[in-house]
Structure 1
Amino acid sequence: MKVIIASFAKCGTKTLRDCLRILGYTVYDFDENFMYLGDEWMEIFEKGASVEMFTKMYKNIDAVSDLPACVYWQNLHEAFPNSKIILTTRKSEEAWTKSWNEQAASINGSKLFQIQCAFTPTGRKYARFLKETMKATFECSPTSFDVIPRHDDILRNKYREHNMAVQQKTPNEKLLVFNLSDGWKPLCNFLDKDVPDVPFPHSNKRSPVRSSHVAPMLFRCLDRELLFIISFTTVIIAILIYNACLYII
């Protein structure tokens, strides 16, 4: 592990993830953490984090970003003490809360997502993973109606506490508080990388949750499983109807 993106979700983490990938890093974002390491994370949620667990999980990975990894940034740094930490924030707590709530509303209000979480194997596993991630992040459970919490006071307090903790507990030489508007130079200087000859990315800027920027592997998997269930059910119904018609005839 070389880089820990300690930023909360909705703080430009997808842009920063893409920056690191352009610079040649292997990055595990929310998508990879669920799809490849979901079982390990569920064990962490249940039993607690350990240096040994994180060392095993990320021994061949260069960087992590987004939830749930950002919540465990300090444990990750204990496991990989030579790693550097990057923190991005929003202009204000209100701006972050508004952005979080907009994404939460799109997820909580998605009927397709609710169906996939109820009827597909990956969807059911993801619903449990997301619930435990939210509990670890905000120390509260979502309501039965909301997969992602939207209590403004809790959101703001946890956002503030998290950012303060990262800045206060990280050695100055290990930390970059990064403004995405500054572009490549401060990021590359911090990572001792040459500035690439490509435009600075701006990923997931008000993108729909099901866009290719957010969790492409997850949603492709959910779509495939739901399509299989619908197709299988349709075939079974057709066979039953056919046999019933034969019996009537």
Structure 2
Amino acid sequence: MKIIVASFPKCGTKTLRDCLRILGYIVYDFDENFTFLGEEWAKVFKNGPSVRMFKEMYERVDAVSDIPASTFWRTLHKAFPEAKIVLTTRRNEEKWLQSWLAQVDAIHKSKMSFANFHFTPTGRKFLQFMKKSGNGESAFSRMPKSKYFIQDAEALKREYRMHNSAVKQEIPKDKLLIFKFSDGWEPLCKFLEKDIPDVPFPHSNKGAAVRERHIAPMVFSKMDHELSCVAACLAILIGILLYLSIQVIC
């Protein structure tokens, strides 16, 4: 592990993930953590984190971003003490809160997401994973009965402040980059000792665009496939029942 992105969700974590991938790093974001390390994270959620477990989980991974990893940044840094920490924030806590609640709203109001979460095996697991992903050792997880989707605005802003403050205070200055996207490639590449790539600086998950393209493309594709199978099975079952009903009538 070379880089730990300690940022809260909706602080440009998808953009930073894409930056790191452009620079050649293997990055595990929310999608990869669920898809490839879901069972391991279930143990972490149940038993708590350990340095040994994180070393095994991320032995072949260069960087992590977004929850659940960002809420376990302390233990991750103990497991990989040479890793550099990148922290991104919003212009102010009010902007962050608006963006976070907009994303939560988008998930809740999406009929497709509702169907996926309730009628597919992967969707049900994914929903539980999302709820537990905030329950780490970070300030974000200490909101009473948060269950990931807490709507208490003042509690959210307080935890946002506490999280950012803790990262800034606890990480040595030479290991920490407080990164502003408006600065472009230069400070990030200098911090990581990488050449500036000859590509435009990315910007991902703008607004509340949270479905397949951004939040978890692999998982949502799998959910959509499972939902199609469920719909096909239901159609076949209804067809059989109609046929049998007609036979009885005849």
Same fold (TM over 0.5): yes
Q: How does 1:22-171 map to 2 (within 5 A)?
A: 22-136=22-136, 137-139=140-142, 140-142=144-146, 148-171=149-172
RMSD: 1.4
- Give the corresponding residue for 1:218: 219
- Give the corresponding residue for 1:185: 186
**Structure 1 gap segments, 5+ residues each:** none
Q: In structure 1, what residue type is equivalent to 2:168?
A: Q
Question: Is the deviation greater in 58-67 or in 213-222?
Answer: 213-222
Q: Distance in 2 between matches of 1:134 and 1:70?
A: 9
Following TM superposition, by how much is the alpha carbon of 1:218 offset from its aligned partner in structure 2, in angstroms? Answer: 1.5
Following TM superposition, by how much is the alpha carbon of 1:43 offset from its aligned partner in structure 2, in angstroms? Answer: 1.0
1:116-142 Cα shifts (integer Å, max 9, x gaps)? 222210111112111212344333335
Following TM superposition, by how much is the alpha carbon of 1:95 offset from its aligned partner in structure 2, in angstroms? Answer: 0.7
Mark the CA change 1:114 to 1:207 in structure 2 (over 3 Å): closer, same or farther. Answer: closer
Partner SS, residue 60 of structure 1:
coil
> Contact conserved, 1:134 with 1:148, CA < 8 A, in 2?
no
Q: Distance in 2 between matches of 1:126 and 1:212?
A: 16
Following TM superposition, by how much is the alpha carbon of 1:247 offset from its aligned partner in structure 2, in angstroms? Answer: 2.8
Partner SS, residue 150 of structure 2:
coil
Following TM superposition, by how much is the alpha carbon of 1:211 offset from its aligned partner in structure 2, in angstroms? Answer: 4.5
- Give the corresponding residue for 2:196: 195
Following TM superposition, by how much is the alpha carbon of 1:241 offset from its aligned partner in structure 2, in angstroms? Answer: 1.2
Following TM superposition, by how much is the alpha carbon of 1:90 offset from its aligned partner in structure 2, in angstroms? Answer: 0.5
> Contact conserved, 2:103 with 2:208, CA < 8 A, in 1?
no
- Give the corresponding residue for 1:243: 244
Q: In structure 2, what residue type is equivalent to 1:164?
A: S
1:161-211 Cα shifts (integer Å, max 9, x gaps)? 110110100011100000011000100000000000001111111142115
Q: In structure 2, what residue type is equivalent to 1:85?
A: I
Partner SS, residue 126 of structure 1:
helix
Q: Distance in 2 between matches of 1:106 and 1:31?
A: 18
Aligned residues: 246
User: TM-score by structure 2 length?
Assistant: 0.94
1:199-237 Cα shifts (integer Å, max 9, x gaps)? 111111114211512211121111111111010111111
Q: Distance in 1 between matches of 2:68 and 2:77?
A: 14
Q: Distance in 2 between matches of 1:30 and 1:20?
A: 15
**Structure 2 gap segments, 5+ residues each:** none
- Give the corresponding residue for 2:15: 15
> Contact conserved, 1:5 with 1:86, CA < 8 A, in 2?
yes
> Contact conserved, 2:71 with 2:141, CA < 8 A, in 1?
no
> Contact conserved, 2:71 with 2:134, CA < 8 A, in 1?
no
Following TM superposition, by how much is the alpha carbon of 1:47 offset from its aligned partner in structure 2, in angstroms? Answer: 0.5
Following TM superposition, by how much is the alpha carbon of 1:73 offset from its aligned partner in structure 2, in angstroms? Answer: 0.7
Q: Distance in 1 between matches of 2:125 and 2:25?
A: 28
Question: Is the deviation greater in 103-112 or in 85-94?
Answer: 103-112
